[in-house]
Amino acid sequence: MISPVRPLFRSRLLPAGRRWRLVVAAVAVLLLLAGANLVLKVGPVGTGLVAGPLVAGILVVVARRAGLSWDDLGLARRALRKGALWAGIAVVGVAATYAIGLVALPGIRALFLDARYHLDTGSALVTALVMIPVSTVLLEEVAFRGVLFGLLHRGKRLVWPFGVSSALFGLWHVLPAMPATRFDTIATVVAVTALLGLLLCELRRRSGSLLAAVAGHWAANGLGVLLAAALWQMQ
């Protein structure tokens, strides 16, 4: 008697109910992020200090309701030690890159002289240590390297979590870049932030913790602000 042919990779397929929960969660996450992006764009200064943590919390609830574990989200306690190690490596790596860049490529100094960060020392510290981590880094890391990465990560294939979350991270920056009305400028911003997203995904993967990606993201932005303020003061 010939035994029935069993479909390949059945063990890798999720139950239909679970797949639908993940699809619904992904749609809800994208809608929440679209709304949050618009609010952050048109809202008054400081909106992110409230909206950032609030939306991040809602995203985590959505992901947990869809069945994602704390490991899936990069928020498991057992990964904190390794996450802290990679967080330190990320911060030192970004600082070294900035320092080497300024020494080896003197022309790069002009890129840091952004008028938005022509700040005194106190304002620069508040921006780097409060505004950026609370209103920007927290939401973006929970959304892209936490929730979306977890929703898309199935088995050992990393193309979807890396590629889709990083592409969406790049598109997330279209609205903030809109004042620069030139298409090539906006395209550059999207490409650079998508590339940064890939690097942050790798930190998340290697450490198993969102902490490493948070630290790398903060270092790229926060240290950049501190460096810009310092260069303005040296003018």
* Cα distance between residue 51 and residue 87, in whole Å: 25
In a domain, 5, yes or no: no
In a domain, 7, yes or no: no
Residue 6 in this model has a pLDDT that exceeds 80: no
Please choose, from the candidates 189, 172, 171, the residue with its C-alpha nearest in 3D space to the C-alpha of residue 180. 189
In a domain, 2, yes or no: no
DSSP label of 131: I
Q: Are 203 and 98 in contact (CB under 8 A)?
A: no
In a domain, 4, yes or no: no
More confident residue, 28 or 107: 28
pLDDT in tens, 23-79: 999 999 999 999 999 999 999 989 999 999 999 999 999 999 999 999 999 999 999
* Cα distance between residue 51 and residue 36, in whole Å: 7
In a domain, 53, yes or no: yes
Residue 103 in this model has a pLDDT that exceeds 70: yes
b/e map of 163-173 (b: 16 or more CB within 10 Å)?
Answer: ebbbebbbebb
The rounded mean pLDDT for the chain is 90
* Cα distance between residue 73 and residue 208, in whole Å: 9
Per-residue model confidence (pLDDT) at position 16 = 66
Please choose, from the candidates 200, 201, 215, 202, the residue with its C-alpha nearest in 3D space to the C-alpha of residue 80. 215
More confident residue, 127 or 19: 127
In a domain, 98, yes or no: yes
Per-residue model confidence (pLDDT) at position 12 = 47
Residue 9 in this model has a pLDDT that exceeds 80: no
pLDDT in tens, 170-190: 999 999 888 766 788 889 999
* Cα distance between residue 155 and residue 166, in whole Å: 19
Categorize the per-residue pLDDT at 5 as very low, low, confident or very high, splitting at 50, 70 and 90.
very low
In a domain, 42, yes or no: yes
Question: Residue 82 is part of which domain span?
Answer: 15-234
Number of domains in the chain: 1
CA 23 to chain centre: 21
Helix orientation angle between 80-104 and 224-234, rounded to the nearest 10 degrees: 30
In a domain, 212, yes or no: yes
Please choose, from the candidates 63, 90, 45, the residue with its C-alpha nearest in 3D space to the C-alpha of residue 199. 90
* Cα distance between residue 144 and residue 193, in whole Å: 12
H or E segment and range at residue 50:
helix 47-65
Residue 120 in this model has a pLDDT that exceeds 50: yes
pTM as predicted? 0.89
pLDDT in tens, 151-175: 999 766 889 999 999 999 999 999 9
